[in-house]
């Protein structure tokens, strides 16, 4: 399969999709950037028609800035009197070259098994009340992967039939992979 022609077809069919510029390019795979969440479903269904029917990953990155190690480890541990002091955690240093912004960068990876090709879709959404359309109607593989992203990052997938926590326990407050996550004391803290 000629990936360039497919990319051109996709750009022609869904106008809000462009081949990503270099900085947001995911290494060694062709990456397409969506300009709005509204283009996700048309783009995904177009790709599915063209044989990209294997949804490999769904994930997201919180671009708020590096996480501060303070506040997200469980407190209340009693250090042993003879043990060496704990190594200081790596201090969160903002890299001036990195493009931090208050946004989530979504990522979908679709694969075409017979053609041995895969294509990545990116979409930037705001951090406040993040929501994207769910792909569960097109790919059943999206079911649990979207639940995972919802659980860990708090991105709502509209149209998901069963959007519940999946990995973290029910009493855990917040979404742990958000960069501003602070651990709320629960019954397992001392």
Structure tokens of 175? 């979404």
Strand 117-126 and strand 31-34: pairing? parallel
- Is residue 97 classed exposed, middle or buried when 0-12, 13-18 and 19+ CB atoms within 10 A define those classes? exposed
Figure out which of the listed residues 37, 100, 159, 163 binds other proteins, where binding follows CB under 8 A.
100
Question: Residue 25, interface with other proteins (CB under 8 A)?
Answer: yes
Rounded CA-CA distance 49/18 in Å is 19
Rounded CA-CA distance 76/78 in Å is 6
Figure out which of the listed residues 21, 27, 171, 187 binds other proteins, where binding follows CB under 8 A.
27
Name the CA radius of gyration of the chain, rounded: 20
For other proteins, give the closer residue by CB, 12 or 93. Answer: 93
For other proteins, give the closer residue by CB, 26 or 38. Answer: 26
Taking the complex as a whole, the smallest distance from the CB of residue 90 to other proteins amounts, in Å, to 6
Rounded CA-CA distance 146/113 in Å is 22
Taking the complex as a whole, the smallest distance from the CB of residue 60 to other proteins amounts, in Å, to 8
Question: Residue 116, interface with other proteins (CB under 8 A)?
Answer: yes
Question: Residue 46, interface with other proteins (CB under 8 A)?
Answer: no
Instruction: Restricting to residues 126-185, name those near other proteins by CB under 8 A.
Output: 139-141, 143-145, 148, 152, 165-169, 176-177
Region at 46 (left for phi over 0; alpha for psi -120 to 50; beta for the rest): alpha
Taking the complex as a whole, the smallest distance from the CB of residue 141 to other proteins amounts, in Å, to 3
Rounded CA-CA distance 143/104 in Å is 20
Binding site for other proteins (CB under 8 A): 23-29, 53-57, 59, 61-62, 66-67, 69, 72, 89-90, 92-93, 95, 97-100, 107, 109, 113-114, 116, 118, 120, 139-141, 143-145, 148, 152, 165-169, 176-177
């Amino acid at each position: 399969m000629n990936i360039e022609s497919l990319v051109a077809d996709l750009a022609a069919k869904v106008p809000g999709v462009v081949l990503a510029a270099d900085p947001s390019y995911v290494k060694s795979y062709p990456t397409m950037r969506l300009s709005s969440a509204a283009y996700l479903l048309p783009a995904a269904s177009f790709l599915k028609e063209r044989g990209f029917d294997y949804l490999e990953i769904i994930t997201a990155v919180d671009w708020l800035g590096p996480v501060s190690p303070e506040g997200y480890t469980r407190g209340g541990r009693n250090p042993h009197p003879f043990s060496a002091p704990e190594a200081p955690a790596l201090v969160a240093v903002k890299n001036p070259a990195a493009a931090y912004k208050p946004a989530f960068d979504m990522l979908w990876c679709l694969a075409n098994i017979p053609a041995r090709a895969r294509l990545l879709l990116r979409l930037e959404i705001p951090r406040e009340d993040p929501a994207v359309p769910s792909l569960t109607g097109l790919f059943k593989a999206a079911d649990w992967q979207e639940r995972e992203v919802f659980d860990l990052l708090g991105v709502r997938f509209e149209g998901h039939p069963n959007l519940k926590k999946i990995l973290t326990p029910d009493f855990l407050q917040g979404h742990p992979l958000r960069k501003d996550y602070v651990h709320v004391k629960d019954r397992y803290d001392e």
